Amino acid sequence: MSQILDTASYDPYRIDSLPEVDKILQQLLDQGVLLRMHSGNPQHAVITTLVHLDFTNDTILIDSAAQQTINAQLIANEVAFFDAILDSVSIKFQVSALYSTAFEGRPALAGPLPAFLYRIQRRENFRIRPTFESAAQCSITLDDQSHRFDIHDISASGLALIDPDERLS
């Protein structure tokens, strides 16, 4: 039986795939990305980071706020909202049923891993940098001479070349 896509509730930015959610959370942790954490009012956000992801027990651990009143408010609110920027892309998620705990002797907040998150990249095209393992070059003929340039990044709308000798000026 085929599923019918409900376009009224479809959100192209929502990630529901748990492996993809886990991968993005792991990137936030590995890169030490700063998170804005609040209990529903972004005007009263604090900056924090992820401190541990326990995929076996489906638990996320977050560095607690310095002020205990903020931690108490997040726990009492039963949900905390998080905003981050990962590789120039906005990431948003929420964690419910927070509770106080400790991780490696330091205070932390914990809760269930989010079942979904939002990865909001509104641009239709984005720039990709070649890796060092697959450095890309471009050859351009100028005044009947061929010149090679390293490619800095590339997108559907164009590319950026590295020209230290300013041959393209």
On whether the CB atoms of residues 79 and 96 are closer than 8 A, the answer is: yes
Query: Which domains, ranges and CATH numbers included, belong to the chain?
Result: 14-120 (2.30.110.10), 124-169 (no CATH)
On whether the CB atoms of residues 109 and 98 are closer than 8 A, the answer is: yes
Residue 31 region by backbone torsions, left for phi larger than 0, else alpha for psi between -120 and 50, else beta: alpha
The SS3 call for residue 103 is strand
User: Which one has a higher pLDDT value, 167 or 31?
Assistant: 31
The SS3 call for residue 50 is strand
DSSP-derived secondary structure letter, 71: H
Q: Band of the pLDDT at 6, cuts 50, 70, 90?
A: low
Average pLDDT taken over every residue of the chain: 88
Distance CA 15, CA 5 (A): 15
Percentage of the chain beyond pLDDT 70 is: 91
pLDDT at 3 over 60: no
- Tens of pLDDT along 72-131? 999 999 899 999 999 889 999 999 999 999 999 999 999 999 999 999 986 666 677 777
Give the CA-trace dihedral at 15, 17, 22, 28, to 10 degrees: -20
- Tens of pLDDT along 47-57? 999 999 999 99
